[in-house]
Amino acid sequence: MSIGALMSAPCRAELLPGGLRSWLIVAACLATAGALPVRAQGDDGTAGRPPQGAAAPAPTIAEFRRQEGPFDLGGQRFTVLLQMKRLAGQGRAADPDFRETLATMEIKDPVGRVHFQRTFPYEVADDRFVETTAASAQMLRGRQGRGLLITYGMLPSTPLGGESWQVFGLFAGPPSAPLHGRLVPFSKPIFAEGQLITEKPGARVVETSQEPRLQGDVLRFRVWAGNFFVIIPLRILWFRNTIGPAWQCVKVTPRGPKPICALSVEAERHPAAEDMTFVRLRREADEGTGVAQHVVVKRDSKLEFLGAEAEVVWKENADSVSLGVSDDVWLKIRIDGREGWIHTQEDFQAIGLPQSG
């Protein structure tokens, strides 16, 4: 490019003969030309490119509705309506487990009256919901009554957690009560590290169970106790609109009565690497009674899991109930024909039940 092209017209008009003066004017005009704005160029020479790292467009949240039912509960019909949110953002594909979430759940009768409503907060980060909630409804049918069972699922969660359950039934009070004819919850959602035991998972109808020597309908939960599962029964009292631990347990110990229950167990053995080890087997589920016997355990030993003893924990929180067992769980076993109780992690490890979760 020539000097004349860089200089403005007024600069060229004032150039006069005389070498020194001419070069001074040329230098001043070049400085002026250098101050003129130009378009920014990137490293690759492309002009006008937006800066890298610019925020991606916010995802669009679409709404849609799902319906479960209707369910016939003793002459009254109810429908569960699930108001959902779905992300439809641009850019990289979102994790499918975090694209949809439940925003509102309503239980209505045929005339549109809302018997129960619950909202679920949600938060979006980038192209996904931070947490997601889902819900499904099933008929709950027992010998003494029937109702609705709502199962909630949340992500992210622990491997055995994330699910909760809530039982609903018709109000059992007198006809003069304000809640007469209404569908009411029997508790807050029940959370557990485990699962509800059903005959046919996913079936439209869930049948209640029976507990030996106990009157009433029961739901049984398989709950993780750290090394194995214990089975905790919850009793439904339809005439009281309640659900809770089936047994109010009391065990007499050398240190006084304790709220300890006898529970069924489910366990899967993973034999230790050693060909032979031993456990300290006690006749009673108590450190303060008798002397522990050292019993040899081989990799090919015949080992049976007979039951457990523990305190059942039913803890009500602000908006949920936690179901579990106390930390000190005793396990009754039979090793090659010899029966007894163990409860330490060392002994659990020796028989092939390492701690996890």
- Whether 320 shows a pLDDT value over 50: the answer reads yes
Look at the block and give the residue holding tokens 């669009």.
Answer: 60
More confident residue, 13 or 177: 177
Rg, the chain, Cα only:
36
pLDDT at residue number 219: 98
pLDDT at residue number 88: 81
Q: Which of 282, 301, 285, 304 is nearest to 293 (CA)?
A: 282
pLDDT at residue number 92: 56
144-159: average pLDDT: 96
Positive or negative torsion for Cα 332, 333, 334, 339: negative
Cα 263 to Cα 128, 131, 271, 329, 352: the distances in Å are: 42, 34, 24, 10, 20
More confident residue, 229 or 252: 229
- Alpha-carbon gap, residue 158 to 152, rounded angstroms: 15
Sequence-separated (6 or more) residues with CB below 8 Å from residue 310 = 225, 230, 260, 261, 263, 325, 326, 328, 329, 330
Cis? peptide before 174, omega within 30° of 0: no
Cis? peptide before 156, omega within 30° of 0: yes
Check: CB of residue 160 under 8 Å from CB of residue 229. Answer: no
pLDDT at residue number 294: 94
The H or E element spanning position 4 is helix 3-6
- Whether 38 shows a pLDDT value over 70: the answer reads no
Check: CB of residue 266 under 8 Å from CB of residue 195. Answer: no
Average pLDDT across the chain, whole number: 85
- Whether 228 shows a pLDDT value over 60: the answer reads yes
- Whether 121 shows a pLDDT value over 80: the answer reads yes
Q: Categorize the per-residue pLDDT at 35 as very low, low, confident or very high, splitting at 50, 70 and 90.
A: very low
- Alpha-carbon gap, residue 116 to 2, rounded angstroms: 83
28-43: average pLDDT: 40
More confident residue, 186 or 37: 186
189-202: average pLDDT: 92
Summarize pLDDT for 57-108 with one digit per residue, the tens: 667 899 999 999 999 998 899 999 999 999 986 555 567 889 999 999 999 9
